[in-house]
Amino acid sequence: MADALRFESPVTRSHPAGESGGLTLTDSSATVKWLVRAFDEGPAAACLQTPFGSSRQDPSGALVLGSRPGEWILLGAQDAVARVVESLQGFGSGDFVTAVEWTHGRAMFRVSGRHAPRALEKVCSLDWSDPMTPDGAVTSASVAKVICDIARDDCRGTLSYLVLCDRSFGQYVFDALIDAGREFGLTVVPAGLSFSDTQDTVG
């Protein structure tokens, strides 16, 4: 794996923060991200053990998202993600696997707190109730007209959603989420934090 470049968040403007504790928006774009594509019923898929629409915490610590049929997103610390990627090597026969480093190409935000579903409902047409999107659910949908991958990743019992979009839309989606959350007393943490750092900001 190549040395990590110095990360610059796509979010350069922020807004005053409330202090209600019911909703927090964190820029976690600095999280290491990889995109893996493979045949959705091949050996690589069996190795990842994460069907479309679900997520799994790998023993290495990386979060594996089944973002689309035959497509996975790996999130987490550099070493943890690297171990998952290395485990995919060696499927040369019968499966074609591609793994692309995505850290600088995708923005990622964490929306957390008890008001998070209500804030997301304002910019996304999906049903964010527990039966439809339980903890671990992964989906793709339009957020403020931008196609995003969304994963529910509760932290210590607090509702939490990861929203990933193309880097070029990062500032726009960040602003749209702030607009959606303003009425819920949103707290904003625009720091370009890593994955573990953003988990610490929840709750």
Partner 1 sequence: MLLVPCPNCGPRNSADLRYGGESHARPDPATASPHEWRAYLYLRHNPAGWLRETWYCRSGCRRWFALERNTATNEFRDPPLPGDKRGGAA
- Residue number with CB closer to partner 1 (150 or 202): 150
Which residue's CB is nearer to partner 1, number 69 or number 105?
Answer: 69
Smaller CB separation from partner 1, 1 or 147: 147
Interface segment toward partner 1; rule CB under 8 A; list 21-29, 89-97, 136-144, 189-197 = 136-144
CB 52, min distance to partner 1, A: 6
Q: How far apart are CA 173 and CA 124, in angstroms?
A: 11
Q: End-to-end alpha-carbon separation of the chain, Å?
A: 34
Is 147 a residue that touches partner 1 (CB under 8 A)? yes
Provide DSSP, 6-49.
PP--S----------SS-EEEE-TTSEEEEEE--TTSHHHHHHT
Please tell me whether residue 142 binds partner 1 under the rule CB under 8 A: yes
Structure-block tokens of residue 67: 């973002």
Cβ 26 to partner 1, closest distance in Å? 24
25 to 64, contacts with partner 1 by CB under 8 A?
Answer: 52-53
196 binds partner 1 (CB under 8 A): no
- Cα separation, 66 vs 45, whole angstroms: 10
Q: How far is the CB of 191 from partner 1 (least distance, A)?
A: 29
Q: Does 134 contact partner 1 by CB under 8 A?
A: no
Query: What CA–CA distances, in Å, run from 182 to 19, 20, 116, 175, 201?
Result: 11, 11, 11, 10, 18
Q: Which of 112, 139, 160, 199 binds partner 1 (CB under 8 A)?
A: 139
Angle, CA of 102, 88 and 198, to the nearest 5°:
40
Query: Which residue carries 């493979």 as its tokens?
Result: 38
**Taking CB under 8 A as the rule, does residue 69 contact partner 1?**
yes
Residue 68 beta carbon to partner 1: minimum distance, rounded to whole angstroms: 5
Question: What residues does 162 pair with on adjacent strands?
Answer: 110, 151
**CB of residue 124 vs partner 1: minimum separation in angstroms?**
10
With binding defined as CB under 8 A, does residue 12 bind partner 1?
no
Among 135, 155, 165, 170, which residue's Cα sits nearest to residue 201?
155
> Footprint of partner 1 on this chain (CB under 8 A)?
52-53, 68-69, 125, 139-142, 147
